[in-house]
Chain A
Amino acid sequence: MKQDVDKLIAGAFSGDESSLGCLLTMVENDDASVSRILEAVSSKLGRAYRIGITGSPGSGKSTLIDKLVAAMRSKGLTVGVICVDPSSPITGGAVLGDRIRMEQHYSDDGVFIRSMASRGSYGGISKAVGAAVDIFDASGKDVVVIETVGIGQEGIDITKIVDTTLLVLAPGWGDSMQLMKAGVLEVADIIVINKADLGGDGLADSIREILALSTRKSAPPVIQTQAFNNIGIDDLYRELENRRNEHHHKAKER
């Protein structure tokens, strides 16, 4: 990149969106200036509450984020959203289609939405995503939301860089055997059954049974939502808000 990285950093911290966008691209591309960026970011970290949202494809994660962001905005919180979609292993290309569910926020200065392709390895992208989250944090966002796809290792990876992990499932997806294999069930802080309009009780029961058999110390709440009808969002938001308050409490003690 030809731009002066210090100027970009200053721009990003003062709210210039193309500067912030450029920094995100630099960490994505593992640019030579990444260490300089991370150094500048490191002194401003620690304010943002980080939420990871993972789950099966099509379960409604992006729609849910759209509604949660609306709730956060109504409380005056600024939000950074990072949506990770898989790259094609064949061509390396990707269609990044999460943003389209969040149209109501396109013109809101308090919301910055960034799409990222996984570029082959989730292990690799988690480094870029981690840096991107830090950049959002340092640029003053109150909340950072990260969407990824997956209920196995890819989903677990994201838990390492967030404060709270939501696992989003939908009725009709999988059976008990698949649920048992869903590693994220063991680490998720909140389990969301979206598309409850299609009947979520059966899936909720299966999840509770499997959680009861697991070695987890405390079972996470299981919350049913209908993202596109805006139902259950309040309950979910309240749960997140409690955790955000705890997070700030802890941050102060640190």
Chain B
Amino acid sequence: MSKPIKVLIAKPGLDGHDRGAITLAMGLRDEGMEVIYTGLRQTAENIVRTCSQEYVDVLGLSLLSGGHNYYFPKIIDLLKENGMGHVLVLAGGIIPNEDRKSLKEKGIKEIFGPGTPISEIADFIRKNIKGEDS
């Protein structure tokens, strides 16, 4: 039996909405993945701790309200510090073009805009997880 890919969907920052995150969680479940959702307004530290405890393959960060230039690099650094540097980190939400390049350089593997089909995200995950570990 192949091992399911384990994904954490997390929302740092002050957003009050998680419909998008929940839709994504359910969509990735339908793609055969094991998905954990931890709720709104998580700190970078707590998100990374959950990654360690759950030992996820993928971290999907969703942020609508700005703050990505603060949260995303911090999370990437904390992952590395905590022995979780291998996690595939993806971002979703509204992220201005001028910030994309620096976030990708920092280690965000891909940024998906609102309305990206879930199958596209799932394919990206499968392609980028395979070959690394299994």
Q: Is the CB of B133 within 8 A of A106?
A: no
Set of chain B residues within 8 Å of A95, measured between Cβ atoms: 25-26, 29, 35-37
A245 to B25, CA, bound (A): 41
With the chains together, A171 CA to B28 CA distance in Å?
33
Contact among A2, A91, A92, A120 with B133 in the assembled complex (CB-CB below 8 Å): A2
Contact: B54 with A21, CB < 8 Å? yes
Other-chain residue from B32, B35, B55, B83 in contact with A92 (beta carbon distance below 8 A): B32
A97 on interface, CB distance cutoff 8 Å: yes
Is B54 within 8 A of A93, CB to CB?
no
Query: A139 in the interface, Cβ–Cβ < 8 Å?
Result: no
Whether the pair B54, A115 counts as a contact (CB closer than 8 A) is: yes
Identify which of residues 99-139 in chain A touch chain B, using a CB-to-CB cut-off of 8 Å: 99-100, 103, 106-107, 112-115, 117, 119-120
Q: Check: A1 CB closer than 8 A to any chain B CB.
A: yes
Contact residue among B4, B31, B32, B45 (Cβ-Cβ distance under 8 Å from A107): B45
- Say which one of A11-19, A34-42, A60-68, A215-223 lies at the interface with B: A11-19
Residue in chain A with minimal CB distance to B87: A18
The reply to whether A117 and B34 form a contact with Cβ atoms under 8 Å apart is yes
Residue of chain A at shortest CB distance from B28: A93
Inter-chain contacts of A11 with B (CB < 8 A): 83
Interface string of B49-75 (1 = CB under 8 A from A): 111111100000000000000000000
Tell me if B114 counts as interface (CB < 8 A to partner A): no
| CB-based contact B36/A99 at 8 Å | yes
Chain B residues, CB < 8 A from A24: 55
- Determine whether the beta carbon of B133 is less than 8 Å from that of A1: yes
B30 at the interface (CB under 8 A from A): yes
Q: Does A74 contact B (CB under 8 A)?
A: no
Write out the residue numbers on chain A whose beta carbons fall within 8 Å of the beta carbon of B128.
none
Interface SS of chain B: helix, strand, loop or mixed? mixed
Q: Is the CB of B83 within 8 A of A103?
A: no
Cα A95 to Cα B21 with chains together (Å) = 12
A95 to B29, CA, bound (A): 6
Q: How far is the CA of A170 from the CA of B30 in the complex (A)?
A: 29
Q: How many residues of A contact B (CB 8 A)?
A: 34
A114–B54 CB distance below 8 A:
yes
Contacts of B28 in A (CB 8 A): 93
Q: Are A16 and B36 in contact (CB under 8 A)?
A: no
Does A93 contact B38, Cβ atoms closer than 8 Å? no
Q: Which residues of A (1-59) have their CB < 8 Å from a CB of B?
A: 1-2, 11, 16-22, 24-25, 29
Q: A93-B30, A95-B26 are in contact. Are A17 and B52 (CB under 8 A)?
A: yes
Among A18, A93, A114, point to the contact of B31 (Cβ < 8 A): A93
The reply to whether the CB of B119 lies closer than 8 angstroms to some CB of chain A is no
Please tell me if B129 contacts chain A, counting CB pairs below 8 Å. no
A88 at the interface (CB under 8 A from B): yes
**A179 partner residues in chain B, CB cutoff 8 A:** none
Given contacts A11-B83, A94-B29, 13 further A-B contacts (CB under 8 A): A1-B133, A2-B133, A16-B83, A88-B29, A91-B29, A93-B28, A94-B35, A95-B29, A95-B37, A100-B39, A107-B49, A113-B50, A115-B34
Listed in ascending order, the chain A residues whose CB lies under 8 Å from chain B are 1-2, 11, 16-22, 24-25, 29, 87-88, 91-97, 99-100, 103, 106-107, 112-115, 117, 119-120
Give 8 A-B contacts (CB < 8 Å), ordered by A residue.
A18-B83, A21-B53, A93-B33, A94-B29, A103-B39, A107-B45, A113-B53, A120-B1
